[in-house]
Structure 1
Amino acid sequence: MSQTVHFQGNPVTVANSIPQAGSKAQTFTLVAKDLSDVTLGQFAGKRKVLNIFPSIDTGVCAASVRKFNQLATEIDNTVVLCISADLPFAQSRFCGAEGLNNVITLSTFP
């Protein structure tokens, strides 16, 4: 199944479908900044916001992490997971330099 969305005013076909807000995510394991494995189940009982982006070292992606860090303080019983393909060390460096403590960065790095 495919779905058409618009990106910068142009139609783009995506494979499968885009999850709807509030839908249940499948379990996954990612790597935390201390190199430990983290699963979605570790945040049971909390709402989860997944900010998934390619690299924290790009302007738009960095801006999204900053914005989610700001918004995370305004949402009760919610954890914001910022997920990228960056090494955990790069994520930690960025958040440390920016003073971002309200989001949890996770890496897809194996």
Structure 2
Amino acid sequence: MTNTKPTMLHSDRGSVFSVFSEEELKNMTNNSKRKVAICGRINNSGIVEVPEGATLAEIIELAGGILDKKDFKGAHVGVPPYGRFLSKEELNKELDFDLFDNYIRAINVL
């Protein structure tokens, strides 16, 4: 994981969002097809190099795991309002990189 850390915003409803600009995300992720920006209710938000065949659960572990070892609720893959919501049933499936925009690969763990 690199040193690139986003600024985090916490809503009064419990949502957590990163404040990477679209340009920052493009610059951080476009030099490798296997990098994603990950943020939300995890211990180490930032850019993660994703091994071939990695599941969402493994990617979350690469980012230090879920805060306070709480249960996984879901994740938004892509940049809102686009992308897709992944549920607990998809946690142990291989992450499909086709879910992402060509340039911006972001995961927000809820």
- Same fold, judged at TM 0.5 (above): no
TM-score (normalised: structure 2): 0.29
Question: Quick check: which one's strand share is greater?
Answer: 1
Higher RCO (CA-CA < 8 Å; seq separation 6+): 2
Question: Quick check: which one's helix share is greater?
Answer: 1
